[in-house]
Amino acid sequence: MEIPSALRNALKHASMVTAFTGAGISAESGVPTFRSAGGVWKKMRPEELASMEGFLRNPVLVWEWYAERKRIIADVQPNPGHRALAQMQDLFPRFEVVTQNIDNLHRRAGSRVVHELHGNIERNYCMACGRNFSNEAVLAMEGVPLCIECKGQIRPDVVWFGESLPEDAWEAGVHAAEYADVFFSIGTSAVVYPAASLPVMARRAGALLVEVNPEPTPLTPDVDVFLQGAAGEVMPAVYECALRERKDKR
Ligand code: BV8
Ligand code: ZN
């Protein structure tokens, strides 16, 4: 893939690079996205499933949905898109991943600085006493998982609609947007807020804004560089380009 000179040049001189990612970067690992073809939300509305109201109204259905996703995520591997980001982090003084994904694949690929804006599906906690439970523990429980300590309801440690994002992850995400010299928006439809406000925040603060997606999104008109394609193909090419541009810096 041809890397435009604006991006080649920015990669050559960047001291901080931020990669903002969504479900699309995990699609090639076999993790279903939300809104593109075959997305899990094609069948049901997100607010029904990924919200406290939906959970309290129908905990069995919501737990079935999360149990299914937990089983999928337990079996998948990071793909070349995740791995390219893990390789890129060693080429720059600062390199941070800010993800909306809850699948833990960036860390499993070797990324060291990962801010999880929407939580992590491998973690669960009791809503009454806060005790943590692993997926192994909750998936072994019959029916709706209840806390072994206090019988309170256990929920996945993810951010539902209408819930605020974890303070530390959001602050870190804003910082990573404001100080980035190059900000990649990879595999996200850029419709879920406040996460979707980070790319424009980065551009306003002076970053070169790069989007990686097989198709245009509501963000595309605002980006400096649109690399149309799958993350698993584009990001390895971006890594090779950064390696070439910065070889005399090592
Ligand atoms: C908040 C965790 C307030 C759970 C998720 C009306 C009613 C109610 C709420 C709202 C409303 N209007 C606005 C809101 C706010 C709402 C929101 O933005 N809704 C949207 C839908 C309109 N946001 C919230 O509620 C947030 N909280 O605002 O709280 C508040 C404020 C202060 C104090 C108290 C309260 C919370 C949002 C978090 C919701 N949780 N997930 C779970 O996963 O079960 S959101 C969910 O969507 C995932 O995190 C996902 O990451 C995120 C975004 O989706 P994407 O990652 O972009 O995935 P998507 O499928 O959409 O797109 C995939 C893209 O990849 C596509 O573009 C595709 O082309 C591309 N692709 C495909 N293949 C590839 C690829 N790209 C590259 N390579 C490929 N191979
Ligand atoms: Zn408890």
pLDDT in tens, 74-117: 999 999 999 999 999 999 999 999 999 999 999 999 999 999 99
Rounded distance from Cα 151 to ligand 1 centre (Å): 31
Q: Please state which of the ranges 33-37, 63-67, 209-213 shows the lowest mean pLDDT.
A: 33-37
Domains in the chain (CATH in brackets) are 5-31+78-118+164-249 (3.40.50.1220), 39-75+126-158 (3.30.1600.10)
What is the value of pTM for the model shown? Answer: 0.96
Q: What are the distances in angstroms from CA 8 to CA 2, 159, 237, 249? A: 10, 36, 11, 14
What's the rounded Cα separation, in Å, for the pair 104 and 116?
9
pLDDT score of 48: 79
* Nearest Cα residue to 165 out of 74, 98, 73: 98
Give the mean model confidence (pLDDT) for residues 224-233: 98
What's the rounded Cα separation, in Å, for the pair 31 and 204?
32
Give the mean model confidence (pLDDT) for residues 172-195: 97
Residue 118 CA: which ligand 1 atom is closest? 2
Say if residue 46's pLDDT is above 80.
no
118 is catalytic: yes
Burial 121-149 (b: 16+ CB within 10 A, else e): bbbbbbeeeeeebebeebbeeeebbbbee
- Token duo for residue 184: 């990649």
Say if residue 33's pLDDT is above 90.
no
Q: How confident is the model at residue 19 (pLDDT cuts 50, 70, 90)?
A: very high
Pocket of ligand 1 (CB under 6 A): 22-25, 27-28, 33-36, 39, 50, 100-102, 118, 158-159, 161-164, 187-189, 191-193, 212-215, 217, 230-232
